[in-house]
Chains A and B, each alone.
Chain A
Amino acid sequence: MVWLMGGALTICLVMIVGLLGLVFYQGVTTFWPRALTTLTLADGTKYLGEETRKEDYKLTEAMVGGLPKETAARARAVLDEPEAIARRRLYRTGNFDITNTHFDWIDDFSVVGAGEDEWSVVIERRAWGRFYGFPTRFLVDGEVVADTPVEVWDKFRAHHGAVSKRVDRLYRLQKYEFGKVHARLENVRLRLKKIEIEKGLESAEYAETQRSFENRTREIEKENERLAGEIRDLRHENDRYAMVMTTIDGEEATLVLSDVVRAYPANQLGFFDKLSVYSSRWGEFITGDPREANSEGGVWPAIVGTVIMTLLMSLVVVPFGVLAALYLREYAKGGPLVSAVRIAINNLAGVPSIVFGVFGLGFFCYILGASIDQVFFFERLPDPTYGKGGVVWASLTLALLTLPVVVVATEEALAAVPGSMREGSYACGASKWQTVQRIVLPRAMPGIMTGFILAMARGAGEVAPLMLVGAVKLAPQLPIDGVAPYLHPERSFMHLGFHIYDVGFQSQNSEAAKPMVFTTTLLLIVIIAALNIAAIWARTRLRRRFMGAQF
């Protein structure tokens, strides 16, 4: 019997440790910069790339038949071995705009020479993925100012910092400043439209509003032009700098410096240089926006979306759950109705989460949201404001999903308050509500916190319902920004869980995306763990205050 229990426990531990270990190992090593290998094959072709994984497979006669002459000879040597196991490696060769592949499988037997060139450079680009090549020339305003790898690299290091800063400023201008101006313009237009709907095109109010709005519009358009001018200037300055690289096949490609996110000579890096690349990639991952259809760049919007949605959900589910449990436990007269309600709440926990998503879409978005739009946002129709998925509907849907957890945990906590304490309170002349508020609820608080922790952990990890009610692949804005009212509950949002699904299964470049799946999973686990630890700490402090010593 003991062996059975011990065995079961061991299996559980192995699974948990195994899962966490796998995620941790894969996630942590993803961003470490690897060496760039130059490969020469038997038939003369050359490859330049980063090895990502390797695979052993059984070599058969049929496979050898299709190979070019020199390679086939070497392949036959492997076939002759007793085991005939061939090894092939997956190399990330990048240069998608030239070669049309991101990755290449290369068999070990076809390689005649492998080495690491001094000046193999890795370039992470804003578009088209990675570039691997050798620095050839550096251009400023179209003129060649350096033509040896050392000098080109020096020039690159000198100018890239400033170019990057300008790119950041451009990004901020376009995303936030431009966006703000546009928002103001849109506001004006909407107010005009509202007057048009309410009073009519011919009315006096419309005419005078239109006049005053024309002035506002002129001011806003002036601001717009100023911004556009600044953006033009920045772009113009950045376009001056370019670098010509040669690929392993001898082709030349010109890369504008503003297109380069990060570049490094992979085979020249010492440990601390590699560490610096590693930290910079992690920093970008956590604080940056995604690029390349979510397979590169950062997950910052997904982090923000996940945290905001989880907090909103908790804000809703805890009060409702506690009040429901209070009523069920303290105020309702026992009977068939109360039992029925309790059974219904418990069964809610067994409903598949996607069904919650469908309910959320149907009820919250299409019924509630559409009604809100009709009453408050009439002038924006037919574009829905609340009548579509958004962070508020997603939070409410998940609150419903996690409600049973909170209700059950709270009921247990309330039941655990000793009757002697309640009696003592009543004997002092307290009413039922005073007893609940002053004695029962505080004493039950640690148990309620447990319910809160469980609800938060469950809600933060659910993905299926979110896909229907507001999580999107790429959100144009964060649900929180500097424009009043600062929290925009109607906006779509990105979510780490959804991001994992999207990156893992919906990317075109699935090999490149695979390591991102692990890093995002690692990040999601860390964030949920952090939220849980915070809640557990709060619960421990409460326990100490309310339990005290009991003899």
Chain B
Amino acid sequence: MQRPTAESSNRLAAITRGEKVDTETHRALAGETPVVETLEFNFWYGTNHALHDVTMKIPRGKITAIIGPSGCGKSTLLRSINRLNDLLDNVRCGGDILLNGDSIYGKGVDVIELRKRMGMVFQKSNPFPMSIYENVVYPLRVDGERRKHVLDEVVERSLKSSALWEEIAGRLGHNALGLSGGQQQRLCIARAIAGEPEVLLMDEPCSALDPLATSKIEELMHELRGTYSIVIVTHNMQQAARVSDYTAFMYLGRLIEYGPTPDMFLNPHLSETGDYVTGRFG
């Protein structure tokens, strides 16, 4: 492990004092084409300043993990990308987020259309109380797609991509609530990719699953990579290390360090990052 510089070891102290700190972004990221880009993004829950000047570029076609202790703002950042935080009362944001170069917080942006270009998977799987088939085609139906052959094709493709097709091919009409936990989560992934989104946002997707189901989903993510850009928020550092190409470390609402995963874990630039990934705090 690289020895921390004197400057970096004061970052946490600076944050506690309320000073602005820069993100330590590794040079490797400069070569990537970003699909989502945040620009000095701030977020408030009421008076609680949850995200401070977050600036990062999320690469296209890669898996980016966001790690950090509880309450550091990882989920808030994720939910800001598809503007799900708009549903809450008394929230405010500043700065901007770009999707393929277009501002998503600009005037006149249609939030519904924006969300259709993104897929989201939640911590606790949330299949709708409908059949498996209807669950997967839900994003298409709300978009107005009614042609049966299109829907059928999407169902097959999505369920195959999420490694669920063999298990339930004959049971598409069954209620989705009858599936096991791991299957339900894979169904939610299938639903999230049914609309062929630009970005797949995953908020701790495996935290409610057993190790076997978790490994299946991690395999899945490897296969989706390339076709989809994935952002995954996770508590589980080993998972971040196994699965992601790039890792971002957040603390107290600020992006502390951001770089290729092997470097982040073996050769972090900042001591705070090193302390966190080795479990010394957090």
A residues at B contact (CB < 8 Å): 334, 418, 420-431, 434, 438-439, 442-443, 545-551
Q: Are A546 and B195 in contact (CB under 8 A)?
A: no
Kindly identify which residue among B115, B120, B129, B142 contacts A545, using a CB–CB cutoff of 8 Å: B129
Q: Mark B105-136, 1 if CB is under 8 A from A, else 0.
A: 00000001101111110101010110000000
The chain A residue with its CB closest to the CB of B188 is A424
Q: Are A427 and B129 in contact (CB under 8 A)?
A: no
Q: A427: which B residues are within 8 A, CB to CB?
A: 82, 84, 115, 118-120, 122, 192
Is B69 interfacial (CB 8 A cutoff)?
A: no
Nearest 6 Cβ contacts at the A-B interface: A548-B177, A429-B116, A427-B120, A430-B142, A424-B126, A428-B139
Q: A551: which B residues are within 8 A, CB to CB?
A: 181
Q: A429: which B residues are within 8 A, CB to CB?
A: 112-113, 115-117, 139, 142-143, 195
Q: Are A421 and B128 in contact (CB under 8 A)?
A: yes
Is B178 interfacial (CB 8 A cutoff)?
A: yes
Q: Mark B76-100, 1 if CB is under 8 A from A, else 0.
A: 0000001010010100000000000
The chain A residue with its CB closest to the CB of B176 is A548
Q: A428-B139, A428-B142 are in contact. Are A546 and B122 (CB under 8 A)?
A: no
**Known A428-B195, A548-B129, A548-B177; 6 more pairs at CB < 8 Å:** A427-B115, A429-B113, A429-B116, A429-B142, A547-B177, A548-B178
Q: B113: which A residues are within 8 A, CB to CB?
A: 429
Cα(A375)–Cα(B177), bound, Å: 56
Q: Are B87 and A423 in contact (CB under 8 A)?
A: yes
Q: Are A418 and B84 in contact (CB under 8 A)?
A: no
The chain A residue with its CB closest to the CB of B181 is A551
The chain B residue with its CB closest to the CB of A418 is B126
CB of A390, distance to nearest CB on chain B (Å) = 42
Q: A421: which B residues are within 8 A, CB to CB?
A: 126, 128-129
Q: Mark B170-183, 1 if CB is under 8 A from A, else 0.
A: 00000111100100
The chain B residue with its CB closest to the CB of A544 is B175
The chain A residue with its CB closest to the CB of B127 is A424
Can you give 12 A-B contacts (C-beta < 8 A)?
A421-B129, A424-B122, A424-B126, A427-B84, A427-B122, A428-B115, A428-B119, A428-B142, A429-B142, A439-B128, A442-B129, A549-B177
Q: B122: which A residues are within 8 A, CB to CB?
A: 420, 423-424, 427
Q: A423-B84, A424-B188 are in contact. Are A549 and B178 (CB under 8 A)?
A: yes
CB of B134, distance to nearest CB on chain A (Å) = 9
Cα(A533)–Cα(B191), bound, Å: 38
Q: Are A438 and B129 in contact (CB under 8 A)?
A: no
Specify which of A429, A431, A438, A547 lies most central, judged by the most chain B CB atoms within 10 Å of its CB.
A429
Q: B120: which A residues are within 8 A, CB to CB?
A: 424, 427
Is B138 interfacial (CB 8 A cutoff)?
A: yes
Cα(A422)–Cα(B112), bound, Å: 14
Q: Are A434 and B188 in contact (CB under 8 A)?
A: no
Q: Are A550 and B112 in contact (CB under 8 A)?
A: no
Give how many B residues have a beta carbon under 8 Å from the other chain's beta carbons.
31
Q: A424-B188, A428-B195 are in contact. Are A438 and B142 (CB under 8 A)?
A: yes
CB of B20, distance to nearest CB on chain A (Å) = 32
B residues at A contact (CB < 8 Å): 82, 84, 87, 89, 112-113, 115-120, 122, 124, 126, 128-129, 138-139, 141-143, 175-178, 181, 188, 191-192, 195
Q: A423-B122, A443-B129 are in contact. Are A431 and B177 (CB under 8 A)?
A: no
Cα(A428)–Cα(B143), bound, Å: 9
Cα(A205)–Cα(B58), bound, Å: 84
Q: A421-B128, A548-B129, A548-B178 are in contact. Are A428 and B87 (CB under 8 A)?
A: no
Cα(A103)–Cα(B143), bound, Å: 78
Q: A549: which B residues are within 8 A, CB to CB?
A: 177-178
Cα(A546)–Cα(B175), bound, Å: 9
Cα(A250)–Cα(B126), bound, Å: 87
The chain B residue with its CB closest to the CB of A429 is B116
Cα(A422)–Cα(B138), bound, Å: 13
Q: Are A550 and B177 in contact (CB under 8 A)?
A: yes
Q: B126: which A residues are within 8 A, CB to CB?
A: 418, 420-421, 423-424
Q: A418: which B residues are within 8 A, CB to CB?
A: 126
Specify which of B84, B126, B181, B191 lies most central, judged by the most chain A CB atoms within 10 Å of its CB.
B126
CB of A435, distance to nearest CB on chain B (Å) = 8
Q: Are B142 and A434 in contact (CB under 8 A)?
A: yes
CB of B183, distance to nearest CB on chain A (Å) = 11
Q: A548-B175, A550-B177 are in contact. Are A426 and B84 (CB under 8 A)?
A: yes
CB of B125, distance to nearest CB on chain A (Å) = 9
Q: B142: which A residues are within 8 A, CB to CB?
A: 425, 428-431, 434, 438
Q: Are A426 and B115 in contact (CB under 8 A)?
A: yes
Q: Are A424 and B128 in contact (CB under 8 A)?
A: yes
Cα(A319)–Cα(B89), bound, Å: 29
Specify which of A422, A426, A438, A549 lies most central, judged by the most chain B CB atoms within 10 Å of its CB.
A426
Q: B175: which A residues are within 8 A, CB to CB?
A: 545, 548
CB of A550, distance to nearest CB on chain B (Å) = 7
The chain B residue with its CB closest to the CB of A435 is B142
CB of B135, distance to nearest CB on chain A (Å) = 9
Cα(A428)–Cα(B120), bound, Å: 7
Q: Are B181 and A431 in contact (CB under 8 A)?
A: no
CB of B116, distance to nearest CB on chain A (Å) = 3
Q: Are A430 and B112 in contact (CB under 8 A)?
A: yes
Kindly identify which residue among A334, A426, A430, A547 contacts B129, using a CB–CB cutoff of 8 Å: A547
Q: A426-B87, A429-B112 are in contact. Are A420 and B124 (CB under 8 A)?
A: yes
The chain A residue with its CB closest to the CB of B134 is A438
Q: A424: which B residues are within 8 A, CB to CB?
A: 120, 122, 126, 128, 188
CB of A424, distance to nearest CB on chain B (Å) = 4
CB of A328, distance to nearest CB on chain B (Å) = 16
CB of A508, distance to nearest CB on chain B (Å) = 60
Q: A443: which B residues are within 8 A, CB to CB?
A: 129
Kindly identify which residue among B89, B124, B177, B191 contacts A428, using a CB–CB cutoff of 8 Å: B191
Cα(A426)–Cα(B86), bound, Å: 11
Cα(A548)–Cα(B176), bound, Å: 8
Cα(A420)–Cα(B127), bound, Å: 9
Cα(A443)–Cα(B177), bound, Å: 13
Q: Are B178 and A431 in contact (CB under 8 A)?
A: no
CB of B152, distance to nearest CB on chain A (Å) = 19
Cα(A246)–Cα(B256), bound, Å: 113
The chain A residue with its CB closest to the CB of B116 is A429
Cα(A262)–Cα(B138), bound, Å: 67
Cα(A443)–Cα(B127), bound, Å: 12
Cα(A548)–Cα(B142), bound, Å: 23
Cα(A425)–Cα(B138), bound, Å: 8
Q: A420: which B residues are within 8 A, CB to CB?
A: 122, 124, 126
The chain B residue with its CB closest to the CB of A424 is B126
Cα(A442)–Cα(B178), bound, Å: 18
Cα(A430)–Cα(B143), bound, Å: 8
Cα(A350)–Cα(B266), bound, Å: 70
Q: B178: which A residues are within 8 A, CB to CB?
A: 548-549
Cα(A160)–Cα(B204), bound, Å: 85
The chain A residue with its CB closest to the CB of B86 is A426
